[in-house]
Each structure stands twice: as structure tokens, then as C-alpha cells.
Amino acid sequence: MRKKVVAGNWKMNLTPAQARDFATEMKSKINTDSVDVVMCVPFVYLPMVQDILAGTKIAVGAQNMHYADEGAYTGEISGKMLAEMNVPYVIIGHSERREYFSETDTTVNIKSLKALQHGLVPIVCIGETLKQRDSNRTFDVIAKQLEIALCGMGAENIAKIVIAYEPIWAIGTGKTATKEQAEEVCAAIRAQIRGRYGDEPAAAVRVLYGGSVNDANANELFTMPNIDGGLVGGASLKPSFEKVVFYDK
């Protein structure tokens, strides 16, 4: 059995006071062994949220990282920095990073390899646009994104990563892929890994769904056989995040 992962992506939200209050509220409500819970917070909140959640089962993650360890990259944060801060997870290649900051499949690959080098768990995001889905290109797009993202990654590393399928047309729109649509793509992702690395890595890798996940749809999505949890956006900033984590209650 693959342990579920519910990762909240705060994006660029909450003031410091709001972040402190929300992390404190969630501290006792979602401290569980049954699900791997991650809060991916803005860089400036990492130390504060880590302090608040110290001693709990809730992990604190970053939303991005640079592929270099150090250098003249004003405003960037390296995997080396995150590792020394004991930040275990980092989101790589979110569609907003691709759209607004010109990230590509290649940079996603380089960053993912660097994250693994530093012992971080990369949450690797892939997903298609509405135009690509409407033109029946979903599986071709996903296959290409995944092939490039995993380039140079040995079979021994596959169980160390998390893959998040996030259809771009469902992110922040209120639209959600049906459980059948999400399962179909997540199953295809696992099949591609099986074809490339074999049965054991394919059975071990955790594949998440993301795209307007909330407490009303988490149960039907997360109980599909190839969906191992979710990458949660707006709902991760609300008290109902607790209900997403405990989707089966």
C-alpha cells in the first residue's frame, strides 16, 4: 500500500500573522501518521512554520528551487539551502512556474535531479492545457513531459519522487477533472513508469492529482486506485484543509 500524500501549496498568499495563525490552527488538527501531510509555504515563512510545526508529523515544503547550488541568481533559493534548513519537500515545475516564469520540461528535469542530489523529495508537476485536452493530446503531452522530467533518473530514485498530475484547465478555475479522467491519466503515468523502469518502481511511486481539490471531492479522487493523494491549492488555506487530509472520515 502506498501511503497517501496531501500537499498544500500556499502559493503567494497570507501575511506573516495569517501564516502563523493558520499553521498553529492546523498543528493539532492534521497531525497524523495515516497520511503524509506537507505544507508548501512561501520561502520567507519556512523557518517560522517549521518552528510552529516542530514535533508534529506535518512536513514543511518549498514551492520552488534553483538548479544551481549557489551563484549570481538574485532572488533565487537553492536546493542546498533547503537541505541545510531540513526542508524535505519541494514543488518542481508547477504550471504557474511554467507559464509566468518560463520554466520548461528541461528545467524541471535539472531541478528534480538536483533536488534528489540534496536528499529532497521533488513533487514533479505535469499537466495539459484545455486546448490540448480538447484536441485529444492529453496523453501525448503527459508522456513527453514525464519522459523529459525523468531523464537521467535511475530506477532507484523513482520511489523517492512524487508526481503530481495537474491539468492546467482545472487549477484555480473551480473546474475539477472527474475521478475517471484523473484516474485515467494517473494510471497512464504509472504505466509509463512501468514500461521504463519495471513493476517495482511503478508500484512504489506516488502519483497525486491536483486541480481544484477540496473537501467535497477529495474522497472520490483519492480513493481511485492510481491516485495517491493530492496537491492542493486554495483549499490548503482554509480550515477545511483538515477534511481534505482526512478524506475518508
Please tell me which residue in 94, 96, 128, 183 is annotated as part of the active site: 94
Taken in order 168, 223, 158, 235, the sign of the CA dihedral is positive
Q: For residue 29, how far is the Cα from the chain centroid?
A: 21
Please tell me which residue in 96, 103, 128, 166 is annotated as part of the active site: 166
CA separation (Å) from 133 to 1, 125, 128, 130, 214? 31, 17, 7, 5, 22
Strand bridging mode 206-210 / 229-232: parallel
- Does the annotation count 166 as an active-site position? yes
Backbone angles phi, psi at 151, to 5 degrees: -60, 130
CA distance 6 to 70: 30
CA distance 30 to 182: 25
First vs last C-alpha separation in the chain: 19
Kindly list the catalytic residues. Answer: 94, 166
